[in-house]
Structure formats: C-alpha cells, structure tokens
Amino acid sequence: MRYLRLKKEKEITAVLRSGKRVRAQTLTIVYRRAEALSMAVCVGKKFGKSVERNRIKRLLREAFRDVGDILPCRILLIPHPAPDYDFFSFRRDIAKLLGKENLLEHPHV
C-alpha cells in the first residue's frame, strides 16, 4: 500500500488537535479525513534509546503497510509502553481499530 509521510510538526499537531482517537491494547490511533492517505509514527523518549524507538517505528510502519487498503485520511500511530513489542500484535490492533472506524476498504486480517 502506498502512503505519504506526515513530516511537518504543524501537520502532526493539526491531526492531534482535531482528529478522532481510538485505542487498543498496544497503540492509539489518531486520524482525520483528508484528500490523500498519510501517516506518521510518534514514539517518545520514554520508550528507550534510539535503537529501541527506531525498532518500534519500523514494526509499526510495516504493520500499517500490511493491513490493506485504507480510505484517504491522516493517521498518527502512537504505541503504548510495554515490555516487548511485536509485529503481529501491532498488525492485529491496527486492523481492528481501522476496521472498527470504517477506514478499511477491503479488510484482510
């Protein structure tokens, strides 16, 4: 699946202020309808050193790519602190939350 990356602080702040939030066991998704699909991962310093934070970001991006076709919107993925992170729990929760909010065009979980 192709998507754009949200990189500017102004864009991310706009989604955080006016977006809808849904929570699951491993992460929170904040989304707002838009013209094109774009995504950002927000991982703070409380998650560990840069190696751990970058691993979490890679897992979240790959789980997001693997979920399927998503309607055009701006999405922020914010993980919850946990002792260990894995691809399958992120993928499960992303698919569950996006399906629940009717953002998936063709869910395949």
Is 108 within the bounds of a domain? no
Q: Any idea which residue has 């939350």 for tokens?
A: 97
The model's pLDDT over 73-82, given as tens digits with 9 standing for 90+, comes to 999 999 999 9
Q: Is residue 70 part of a domain?
A: yes
pLDDT > 50? residue 109:
no
Tell how many helices (H) and how many strands (E) occur in the chain. Answer: 3, 5
**Any domain includes 105:** no
92: which 2 tokens? 């499960």
CATH number assigned to the domain comprising residue 82: 3.30.230.10
Q: Domain containing 69: what range?
A: 4-100
| DSSP classification of residue 102 | T
Residue at 13 is within a domain: yes
Length of the chain, in residues: 109
Number of domains the chain contains: 1
| Distance between CA atoms of residues 22 and 6, nearest Å | 19
pLDDT bracket for residue 104 (50, 70, 90): confident
Residue whose token pair is 């699951």: 24
Residue 107 lies in a domain: no
Whether residue 83 lies inside any domain: the answer is yes
The 10s digit of each residue's pLDDT in 56-75 is 999 999 999 998 889 999 99
Q: Nearest-CA neighbor of 86 among 108, 66, 63, 64?
A: 63
C-alpha 106 chain-centroid distance? 18
Distance CA 108, CA 9 (A): 32
